[in-house]
Structure 1
Amino acid sequence: MAALLAAAGCSSSSSDDSPPASSGSGAGASAAAKKLSGTVTVFAAASLKESFTTLGKRFEAAHPGTHVTFNFGGSDTLAAGITAGAPADVFAAASAKTMKTVTDAKRASGTPATFARNQLEIVTLPGNPEKIASLKDLTRPGLKVALCDKAVPCGAAARKALDAAGLKLTPVSYEQDVKSALTKVALKEADASLVYRTDVRAAGGRVYGVEFPESASALNAYPIALLKDAPNRAAAREFVALVESAEGREVLDGAGFLRP
């Protein structure tokens, strides 16, 4: 009996260290992956809400007995929570800078991998009533513009785009994440904002998006990492593998993300 228990213990330990399956779902998933169970806690940038929610559902369907929970928010806030000891398995950030906060604190396991990029758009009310056609139009007197806070990746990207255009503006508010910035416009509390194109697409007919050339100089890279003290390490590794797989790229492409 002691020998059997010892063998079982070795088997359980080795499953956590086995390489991730080539895909996080599908009939071809490995035998080890099929035995996954428990909750996977993912801290992810607010702009990933729609695509990661879809991937979470697919992961659960492919691995009965698992449950993926998400904490979406500003990447800087999420990174601060992780470095303070918040229990999580995976971190997906909207910038390399916020991921560096986690890696510098030695909370990441291995080297984070960039899985997508994102680009800014000007967001206005449906029909674009203020006739905004360029980044310069945001500086018009009387126009109410909301921006992401400077510490948030979308805020840093907005500042970079404005600097590239040689423009300065004073927003009516600084928001803690990109969803909040878009909501300000959708609720008519601001005339315009700078958000990711993926968020404009996800909002559908609630808002209208305007592309601008300076956004090309402010692309954000999205890194993902398994966390060092992940409570459900085996399942977390498979979720990361799903995000990086062809299936994951298909979902991200559909949401409007750019390839890494």
Structure 2
Amino acid sequence: MKRLSLPLMTAVGLMGMTALTACGSGSTDSATSASAAMTPSASSTPSPSSTLSGTVTVLAAASLTESFTALEKSFEAANPGVDVTISFGSSATLAQQIAQGAPADLYASAGTKALDQLPAEAKAKPTTTLARNVLEIATPPGNPKKVTGLASLADASINVVLCAETVPCGSAADAVLTKAAVTAHVVSREVDVKATLAKITLGEADAAIVYHSDVVAAGSKVEGVEIPAAQNTTLAYPLVRLTDTAATKAFADLLASAAGLKELEAVGFLAP
């Protein structure tokens, strides 16, 4: 199992990624291989399968880190001949990388807007909605500034951090603030949702607008303040299958399966 961290890929990074094998090879169809990928849980021990081999390269929204990592481990345990390589980052940045030629078998985005940046051939590939997500305010444990909702974020004594305007969590945050007629006291805008949440967990900000799933995944490191449905927005999480190798199809099937949804729901995602 390999792990890449790609919040922003430079030209050098793109050249490095071309060395990764974008396609896996195998002899079974996706239905057979998907059955080998068991539900990820501490109590299940998948039976190894030798029918699939190769590499599956995945570019995925940062908010999918916990769930996709767990599913990757489960899939690789069931299919020891396959190496799943996942790069997490801003959906918009990852889409730009694909448009610039970065190798990828699967692309999972937060929201659908980033898909507009994909090249025409990628837009025509099979797409499945994996889950949905909503926004939530994250504060340090104990909510020391007593943030009660979006209106609190206009207080000049409350330092607010948002995702960059060009990434899904940032444009979504701007939309809910506009809907609520709130001008937040924003002191920083970060490259993706994980970098934004880190400002809270490191004690460098008083509040941030992130995804509900990130608040759940952070556990006791943050405290969540719900945004009412009338002010909130919902983002779909599409999965685009860019190649047709057996290993790619099998991992895509796992991500879109009941087992995949269970892993996503465990960290706060909603059913599609």
Shorter chain as normaliser: what TM range?
A: 0.7 to 0.9
Please tell me whether the aligned partners of residues 24 and 245 of structure 1 are also in contact (alpha carbons under 8 angstroms).
Answer: no
- For 1:229-255, what per-residue CA distance to the aligned partner results, in whole angstroms no more than 9, with x for missing partners? x4x722111111001111111111111
| 2:52 counterpart SS class | coil
After superposition, the Cα gap between the structure-2 partners of 1:67 and 1:216, relative to the gap in structure 1 and judged at 3 Å, is: farther
1:84 is the counterpart of 2:85: no
5+ residue gaps, structure 2? 1-24, 40-48
Q: Give the letter aligned to residue 102 of structure 2.
A: A
Q: Give the letter aligned to residue 221 of structure 1.
A: A
Aligned pair count reads 239
| 2:113 counterpart SS class | helix
Q: Which residue pairs with 1:105 in the alignment?
A: 120
Separation of aligned partners in 2, 1:70 and 1:186: 24
Q: Which residue pairs with 1:133 in the alignment?
A: 148
Alignment of 1:21-36 (within 5 A): 21=32, 23=35, 25-26=37-38, 34-36=50-52
- Measure how far apart 1:186 and its partner are: 1.2
Please tell me whether the aligned partners of residues 24 and 242 of structure 1 are also in contact (alpha carbons under 8 angstroms).
Answer: no
- Identical columns (%): 47
Q: Which residue pairs with 1:64 in the alignment?
A: 80
Instruction: Pick from 179, 183, 190 the counterpart of residue 175 of structure 1.
Output: 190
Separation of aligned partners in 2, 1:168 and 1:214: 19
Higher helix share: 1
Instruction: Pick from 110, 116, 138 the counterpart of residue 94 of structure 1.
Output: 110
Separation of aligned partners in 1, 2:103 and 2:192: 21
Q: Which residue pairs with 1:236 in the alignment?
A: 248
- Measure how far apart 1:169 and its partner are: 2.2
RMSD: 2.2
Please tell me whether the aligned partners of residues 83 and 105 of structure 1 are also in contact (alpha carbons under 8 angstroms).
Answer: no
- Measure how far apart 1:110 and its partner are: 2.5
Please tell me whether the aligned partners of residues 161 and 214 of structure 1 are also in contact (alpha carbons under 8 angstroms).
Answer: no
Normalising to structure 1: TM-score of the pair? 0.85
Please tell me whether the aligned partners of residues 23 and 247 of structure 1 are also in contact (alpha carbons under 8 angstroms).
Answer: no
1:121 is the counterpart of 2:136: yes
Separation of aligned partners in 2, 1:192 and 1:24: 43
Separation of aligned partners in 1, 2:89 and 2:30: 30
Q: Which residue pairs with 1:218 in the alignment?
A: 233
Q: Which residue pairs with 1:74 in the alignment?
A: 90
Q: Give the letter aligned to residue 233 of structure 1.
A: T
Q: Give the letter aligned to residue 240 of structure 1.
A: A
Separation of aligned partners in 2, 1:92 and 1:119: 16
Separation of aligned partners in 1, 2:76 and 2:265: 21
Q: Which residue pairs with 2:171 in the alignment?
A: 156
Please tell me whether the aligned partners of residues 145 and 190 of structure 1 are also in contact (alpha carbons under 8 angstroms).
Answer: yes
Separation of aligned partners in 2, 1:250 and 1:106: 31
- For 1:173-209, what per-residue CA distance to the aligned partner results, in whole angstroms no more than 9, with x for missing partners? 1111000000011112111100111111111111111
Instruction: Pick from 162, 184, 188 the counterpart of residue 147 of structure 1.
Output: 162
1:196 is the counterpart of 2:211: yes
Please tell me whether the aligned partners of residues 71 and 255 of structure 2 are also in contact (alpha carbons under 8 angstroms).
Answer: yes
After superposition, the Cα gap between the structure-2 partners of 1:235 and 1:215, relative to the gap in structure 1 and judged at 3 Å, is: farther
Separation of aligned partners in 2, 1:24 and 1:252: 19
- For 1:18-72, what per-residue CA distance to the aligned partner results, in whole angstroms no more than 9, with x for missing partners? 4544546149xxxxx8511122111000000000000001111111211111100
5+ residue gaps, structure 1? 1-12, 28-32
After superposition, the Cα gap between the structure-2 partners of 1:244 and 1:96, relative to the gap in structure 1 and judged at 3 Å, is: same
